[in-house]
Chains A and B, each alone.
Chain A
Amino acid sequence: MTTRHKLPPAGSPGPERQIFDAISSLQSLGDDRDEDGGRKIAFSRLYAYAAGGDGGADPELERILAIEPELRRDFRRLLGKTASIHMPRVAAASSGEISQRGGGNCRIRFEPSRAEPDQVYVIIEFTVGEGGLPATLFVCDNDNHCDKFSLPRGRDGVIQLLLERESDLLAKLRDINTEIYLG
């Protein structure tokens, strides 16, 4: 007996086609380095790291990402799809420190502490509702090196961090060449 499947109409892809495309893309992200003898990283693991908040900590994956440029590129693409907010590079060159940056319904302000001049408040303000404030922040540089940071719980559309002026995270957030993903 021959089973007949109903084909989706031509033109705009139906939900089946979208799901097929998504699965294909995900497979290619996970499988394409096995033939070259590289490390195979399951897509589910990358996804858990990108979207898993605090629970997605994966030091081994971070070590592999640090040495595998193609995997970094794929991961960056994945971040672009999973993150709820993407803040592009600051669109100007400057030798001075930026005091704020913005993008994607979000603004980050840097306010020095009066009490401790070596500390800086990082205030992430969201212009959308508080329905789900991000729990994770990724800062990515030009070589797709992305550092993951857990965010404290936000209130009233604001997430506030207090950082040492010399901290690595603050330097990356203030670097006009980095891009930021929040999810």
Chain B
Amino acid sequence: MKARVYLATTAGPVRIERLTRERAQQSAVCLGRTTKVLAVSAAYDAFVRQPSGVIEREFGPLEPGAFRLDVDGPVDDGESWQLGVFAAHMLAKDHALAGPDEPGDLVIWLTGAVHNDLGVAPVNHIPEKLRASEELFAALAMEGAKVTLVLPPGARPHAEAGGLPAGFEIAEIASTKELAEIIGAGGPTLTAGPRPQEPAAIKQGPGRWTARLMIALVALFLLLVIAFQAWHVWRAYDDLRQVADSGGLGDLASALEKADRSGWTGGLAADLLRRDLLAELPTARDVGLDIRERRAPEGKSCAAVHFGNAEPVLVAVEPDPDGAYPPSDRNGLCGLEFYVSTDPGRFHAETGFAVVSGKFIREGAVLEARNGPLVFSGEMAWVVDLPRRPDGPFAYEIELIASRRPVSLDLVGKNGLKTADEFAGLGVFYRSIEHRVER
């Protein structure tokens, strides 16, 4: 069951098309699914973000990031959009917000401010907003849609005086808790648990077939218990999957541990997800890392190699049986080249390259990695030239991460994950190497 949400504005109704949790820093309201970010975004971000905002507080905990709210028309600053946006979050949490191409089972048209205590406060210009929506109301009436106008306290007379089409319902609410009841009555399940299902037989009473009815009741009860537990497992799995898809590895590890401790349904969901993640794990064959020494050819100097006047002799740097890379000899070594390969259609990969000591050259300038590791996505190759007169050993580290899900090195290191096995348990291939050049 899904619902369409319209924000009432004096310029006409604005439909909320979509609500997405993004790996962004600030929540934003976007027009027509484009990159046009509306000015109301700053107020929306404040409405979302803790400690002052209510959305993260009421609908959290949420994966790291911010929300993107897509609307089909401009929304001015002010506060009257808050009730509609709150309703959209309520619906989206249960995947019940109708998208732009979905008619939905219910249409809600809202205006009102939401206070920090979740009280709904009056707003201005309601008669104008109603007039500006007349065309929409007429279309909805033609469509036969089930429509509810949700208004703040004291606004009902405006709506009743406006001559709404027959069948339209008006709800005047003082708290968002009432909003949950109104939308829930229309279809979408909004509360944390399933709405009790009462079979017709129960409503009709036991009648004279008491024994058979009792058996049916017990069977039904057992069925409901099983369905309820299965639903819990599915929800727990879905929540864990969302954390996994967000790419936050530390969050995923914590979420799996928490699920293990939360009871058998959580533990089962965690096991199911672990099995799926393991099946998705890229292998060492899927992610290649080659390191080659660039040495001056006979009779030529490194300067000739650096300036492109001589092709370097390439010597592969091979790890020993333990996977460690032996140091390279500085004599005659002009530089190093690196190649990371993976199938970008199948895997998301990121490589971090961090110089631990020493300097290197790029386009004639001697550089050192002062700004932390350099991070690249996907397939990549790069060259590091070494200066003629080094001031000490040149040492560097490479971290390589790959997964079928979007993952980021940005998220590594904040979560205590260190070994390849720990990463593998989360469906992520991880490799870390250290190598140095010395005399």
Beta-carbon contacts of B1-32 to A below 8 Å, as 1s and 0s? 00000000000000000101111111010100
Contacts A121-B23, A123-B24 given; indicate if A100 touches B369 (C-beta within 8 A).
Answer: no
Beta-carbon nearest neighbor of B374 in chain A: A92
Residues on B with beta carbons closer than 8 Å to the beta carbon of A112? 23, 406
* Interface magnitude class on chain B: 35 or more
B408 touches A99 (CB 8 A): yes
B26 touches A160 (CB 8 A): yes
Interface-located stretch among A4-12, A19-27, A59-67, A151-159: A151-159
Interface-located stretch among B173-181, B248-256, B300-308, B381-389: B381-389
A103 on interface, CB distance cutoff 8 Å: yes
B23 touches A96 (CB 8 A): no
Beta-carbon contacts of A107-119 to B below 8 Å, as 1s and 0s? 1010111111001
Return B397 CB to nearest CB of chain A, in Å.
13
Q: Which listed residue, B22, B25, B406, touches A115 by the CB 8 Å rule? A: B22
B410 on interface, CB distance cutoff 8 Å: yes
B376 touches A94 (CB 8 A): yes
What CA separation (Å) do A93 and B338 show in the bound complex? Answer: 10
Return B280 CB to nearest CB of chain A, in Å.
18
B362 touches A99 (CB 8 A): no
What CA separation (Å) do A116 and B406 show in the bound complex? Answer: 15
Beta-carbon nearest neighbor of A158 in chain B: B25
Residues on B with beta carbons closer than 8 Å to the beta carbon of A153? 42
Given contacts A113-B22, A113-B68, could you give 17 more A-B pairs where the C-beta distance is less than 8 Å?
A91-B362, A91-B367, A92-B369, A95-B380, A97-B377, A99-B350, A99-B410, A100-B375, A102-B372, A103-B371, A115-B22, A116-B33, A121-B23, A123-B24, A153-B42, A155-B42, A162-B37
> When A and B form their complex, which 5 residue pairs have the shortest distance between CB atoms, in order from nearest?
A96-B380, A115-B20, A96-B376, A102-B371, A91-B367
A-B contact count, CB below 8 Å? 101
Residues on B with beta carbons closer than 8 Å to the beta carbon of A102? 371-372
Residues on B with beta carbons closer than 8 Å to the beta carbon of A125? 25
B325 on interface, CB distance cutoff 8 Å: no
Beta-carbon nearest neighbor of A119 in chain B: B35
Residues on B with beta carbons closer than 8 Å to the beta carbon of A103? 370-371
Residues on B with beta carbons closer than 8 Å to the beta carbon of A113? 20, 22, 24, 68
What CA separation (Å) do A109 and B375 show in the bound complex? Answer: 10
Q: List 9 A-B contacts (CB under 8 A).
A: A92-B362, A94-B376, A96-B377, A97-B377, A115-B22, A123-B25, A153-B42, A160-B26, A162-B35
B379 on interface, CB distance cutoff 8 Å: yes
Residues on A with beta carbons closer than 8 Å to the beta carbon of B24? 111, 113, 121, 123, 160
Q: For chain B residues 125-144, which have a beta carbon within 8 Å of chain A? A: none
Contacts A91-B367, A125-B25, A155-B45 given; indicate if A100 touches B410 (C-beta within 8 A).
Answer: yes
Q: Which listed residue, B22, B33, B350, B409, touches A114 by the CB 8 Å rule? A: B22
Residues on A with beta carbons closer than 8 Å to the beta carbon of B26? 155, 158, 160
Q: For chain B residues 340-360, which have a beta carbon within 8 Å of chain A? A: 340, 350-351, 353
B293 on interface, CB distance cutoff 8 Å: no
Q: For chain B residues 305-353, which have a beta carbon within 8 Å of chain A? A: 340, 350-351, 353
B35 touches A109 (CB 8 A): no
Most buried by B among A91, A101, A109, A164: A91
Residues on A with beta carbons closer than 8 Å to the beta carbon of B410? 99-100, 109
